[in-house]
């Protein structure tokens, strides 16, 4: 990126998210038991290919690092409504096939060092295609490249200084062509499970800023932890929906609990999708997974609907997640057509 400091672009959306706080709950993944009196959870140890789940830090409050500024989203929404109205002029939405490249960044060629097998990638593709099928979106696996680079594995997404963001950009630009209609997926360490994944910029940002567009190859794509592939070291937590969530951002969706005022409020337009109920907190802050049951709370009782714990864009445990709403599907298809040149 030009001489301009990357730090100056934080306000433009380069920064990834912090945490959402709740006084009563500390998030742990599905399969951890809740002690409601103390707001804490106790781990269940699970053995898989010689590894123990306690070898890794379980995902917590900053599960997804994609930060969407409410102010930027509101500004974009005005423009988007005009563009999508013209785009939707009665035309049927065709099915589309989107190419996918996987870049598996490893510290070494062990499961603990970031290795992801071909079988896991195939399983991930099956999850992706099933999740996006109602939207008329199919994903075609084009390539897999495995790279041993401990520096990338341990630091990308963890170090959010100028140097850390530059490191991420160097990694992505080593592989990506920057084509807006190709999904590049990067699997790295992300703090050994302290962060599940993120999308650096939502797709319309590249049309707003020529410097961002010029550097798209180093910015675009989805980064996920290698732990979240299906059949990985923590199979009781991860079913492959972590990538579905991040690709929802790649296709233009916000979190269902998005709020202008921040966590804990039921005010404002939320995610700008009319059929996702208003939600004060991410579900993991209120969900009690004891006994393996997905129980929805109603954090905005004066608004229609209960918290959408089955939605891919919430933070509910993965076994709870089953759907995108029709409104989210329509929004994704319009964003893909208008900002990623994906329509036919």
The SS3 call for residue 208 is helix
**Does residue 163 lie in a domain region?**
yes
Give yes or no for residue 52 having a pLDDT over 60. Answer: no
For the chain, the domain total comes to 1
Please indicate, yes or no, if residue 155 is contained in any of the structural domains: yes
Hey, which of 41-45, 191-195, 222-226, 231-235 has the most confident mean pLDDT? 222-226
Known catalytic membership, residue 246:
yes
pLDDT at 13 over 50: no
| Digit-coded pLDDT (tens) for 109-146 | 999 999 999 999 999 999 999 999 999 999 999 999 99
Residue 1 lies in a domain: no
Give the E-state strand segments of 53-205 in sequence order.
96-106, 137-148, 183-188, 197-199
User: Cβ-count burial of 2 within 10 angstroms (0-12 exposed, 13-18 middle, 19+ buried)?
Assistant: exposed
Give the DSSP letter string of 212-255.
HHHTGGGT-SEEEEGGGSTTSS-TTT-SSHHHHHHHHHHTTPPP
Q: Does residue 242 lie within any of the structural domains?
A: yes
State mean pLDDT over 6-12: 42
What's the chain's average pLDDT?
Answer: 78
pLDDT of residue 57 exceeding 80, the answer is no
In a domain, 176, yes or no: yes
Determine what percent of the chain is predicted with pLDDT higher than 70.
Answer: 74
For residue 158, the model assigns a pLDDT of 87
User: Which structural domain, as residue segments, surrounds residue 254?
Assistant: 6-339
Sign of CA dihedral 310, 340, 14, 278: negative
- The tens digit of pLDDT for each residue in 294-335 reads 888 888 998 899 989 899 999 888 888 999 999 999 999 999
pLDDT of residue 193: 60
254 neighbors 68 (Cβ within 8 angstroms):
yes
Q: Give me the mean pLDDT over the 43-58 stretch.
A: 35
pLDDT at 104 over 50: yes
Q: What angle do CA 43, 49, 55 make, to 5 degrees?
A: 35
**Exposure string for 228-258, b = 16+ CB within 10 A, e = fewer:** bbbbbbbebbbbbbbbbbbbbbbbbbbbbbb
Q: What is the model's pTM?
A: 0.81
Over residues 235-256, the mean pLDDT reads: 94
Question: Could you tell me the two tokens for 287?
Answer: 């969900």
Out of 71, 77, 208, 246, pick the active-site residue: 246
For residues 55-84, average pLDDT: 65
Residue 152, in any domain of the structure: yes
- Please report whether residue 74 resides in a domain: yes
Q: Residue 312 sits in a domain of what CATH number?
A: 3.40.390.10
Asked if residue 105 is part of any domain, the answer here is yes
């Amino acid at each position: 990126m030009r001489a301009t400091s990357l730090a100056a672009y934080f306000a433009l959306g380069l920064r990834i998210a912090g945490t959402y706080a709740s006084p009563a709950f500390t998030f742990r993944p599905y399969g951890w038991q809740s002690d409601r009196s103390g707001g804490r959870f106790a781990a269940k140890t699970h053995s898989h290919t010689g590894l123990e789940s306690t070898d890794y830090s379980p995902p917590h409050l900053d599960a997804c690092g994609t930060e969407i500024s409410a102010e930027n989203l509101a500004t974009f929404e005005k423009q988007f409504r005009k563009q999508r109205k013209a785009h939707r002029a009665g035309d049927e939405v065709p099915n589309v096939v989107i190419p996918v490249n996987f870049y598996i960044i490893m510290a070494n060629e062990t499961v603990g060092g970031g290795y992801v097998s071909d079988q896991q990638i195939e399983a991930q593709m099956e999850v992706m295609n099933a999740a996006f099928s109602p939207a008329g979106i199919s994903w075609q696996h084009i390539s897999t490249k495995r790279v041993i680079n401990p520096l990338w594995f341990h630091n990308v997404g963890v170090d959010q200084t100028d140097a850390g963001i530059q490191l991420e950009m160097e990694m992505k630009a080593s592989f990506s062509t920057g084509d807006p209609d190709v999904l590049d997926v990067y699997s790295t360490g992300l703090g050994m499970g302290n962060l599940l994944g993120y999308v650096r910029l939502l797709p319309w940002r590249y049309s707003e800023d020529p410097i961002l567009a010029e550097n798209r190859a180093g910015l675009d794509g989805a980064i996920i932890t290698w732990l979240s592939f299906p059949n990985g070291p923590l199979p009781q937590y991860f079913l492959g929906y972590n990538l579905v969530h991040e690709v929802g951002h790649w296709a233009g969706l916000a979190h269902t609990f998005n709020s202008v005022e921040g966590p804990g409020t039921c005010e404002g337009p939320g995610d700008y999708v009319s059929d996702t109920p208003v939600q004060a907190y991410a579900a993991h802050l209120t969900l009690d997974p004891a006994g393996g049951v997905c129980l929805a709370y109603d954090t905005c009782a004066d608004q229609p609907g209960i918290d959408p714990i089955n939605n891919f864009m919430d933070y509910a445990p993965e076994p709870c997640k089953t759907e995108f709403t029709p409104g989210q599907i329509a929004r994704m298809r319009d964003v893909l057509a208008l900002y990623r040149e994906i329509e036919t």
